[in-house]
Amino acid sequence: MTELKNDLYLRALLRQPTARTPIWMMRQAGRYLPEYRELRQQAGDFMSLCKNPELACEVTLQPLRRFSLDAAILFSDILTIPDAMGLGLYFETGEGPKFKHPVRDLKAIERLGVPDPEQELRYVMDAVRTIRRELKGEVPLIGFSGSPWTLATYMVEGGSTKNFSQVKKLMFAEPQAMHLLLDKLADSVILYLNAQIAAGAQAVMVFDTWGGVLSPRDYREFSLRYMDKIVKGLTRQAEGRQVPVTLFTKNGGAWLADMAATGADALGVDWTMNMGDARAAVADKVALQGNMDPSVLYASPNRIEEEVGRILASYGQGNGHVFNLGHGIHPEVNPEHAGAFINAVHKLSPAYHK
């Protein structure tokens, strides 16, 4: 494999010294970029982009041509695993993802198989291999998956939801069925992420988008328990390097210490928690990623730089910080404002690494 020219991101995740704070953006390849919108129109629909390795590679590389970012992230979707389980994933304009065959009882869950990542999900692995080749060692490639709990919410609800009634009904009324589903999903995620690592991903991230809708007790039982299983099942060395793993629970600031105890290398932090408080909560045992509110990117470049400075000061001196948004960049953001954000991190962060 080509030697990595910029390893700031990987070093920061392992809390090693860096000259500045590395930066990438969640959903950095996406609808805010006109070149992405043009390519998606050519492809016909979102899943056609995801399932074409060459197009997925092109989308992954688009933001790197515009911005001085320190990592690329695989262009894919968190719902690839449920799709490969035969649930019939489709997208309706303005309504988000939907499944033709939601799973809502024990019999449906028992019928689910664990997908073979080099068979049913081969298109993802081919995309990883293609992206690694085309990156030519410029920056590391991040692979990812949804968390078991987050995948289960879509699978049981049949799509997006505001009140989580179906998935919580299953969780409370039939906990054994829920645990069987989550266990199958954890096994699937382990295979999926390990296959991404074998294909060339140099770091991996688990997105727990909906863990924050659970009570503390239920979060530990139905979300964190399965992310812990994933962390312990992952390949942690490849190509002579450590492969860092990051966990991110949206609205999960109250559980950072518990998340750190899984053995993950880094935790994502959303904008609802102060970075200094987050650092204190994990006692510098793991790296932290985050955590600017994506809506700040609607503001002027001066205001964006001011917010970057505030977050850097909150985290303070030392290593172990990857700058990012607290969630995905909004589709309506002006790309020039994203550029101002990235430039502000480059400008202001070296002072915190002396």
Is 154 assigned to a binding site? yes
Q: Is 27 a catalytic residue?
A: yes
Give the position of tokens 């392992």: 14
Residue 170: other Cβ atoms inside 10 A: 21
Alpha carbon distances (Å) from 199 to 106, 175, 192? 34, 36, 11
Q: How far apart are CA 143 and CA 90, in angstroms?
A: 22
Of 77, 83, 208, 270, the catalytic one is 77
Residue 31 annotated in ligand binding: yes
Whether residue 77 is annotated as binding a ligand: the answer is yes
Q: Which of 20, 27, 132, 279 is catalytic?
A: 27
Query: Residue for token digits 């999960």?
Result: 252
Q: What is the DSSP string of 143-181?
A: EEEE-HHHHHHHHHHSB--SS-HHHHHHHHH-HHHHHHH
For helices 175-199 and 148-157, the axis angle rounded to 10 degrees is 120
Helix, strand counts (H, E) of the chain: 16, 11
Q: Is 31 a catalytic residue?
A: yes
- Strand 245-249 vs strand 266-268: parallel, antiparallel, or unpaired? parallel
Question: Which one of the listed residues 31, 66, 225, 303 is annotated catalytic?
Answer: 31
Active site residue: 36, 154, 226, 315, which one?
154
Tell me: is residue 28 an annotated ligand-binding position.
yes
Q: Is 237 annotated as a binding residue?
A: no
* Residue 225 in marked binding region: no
Identify whether 37 is a catalytic site residue.
no
327 in a labelled binding site: yes
Q: What one-letter code names the amino acid at 330?
A: H
**334: helix, strand or coil:** coil
Active-site residue numbers? 27, 31, 40, 77, 154
Show binding-site residues. Answer: 27-31, 77, 154, 209, 327
Binding-site residue numbers for substrate are 27-31, 77, 154, 209, 327
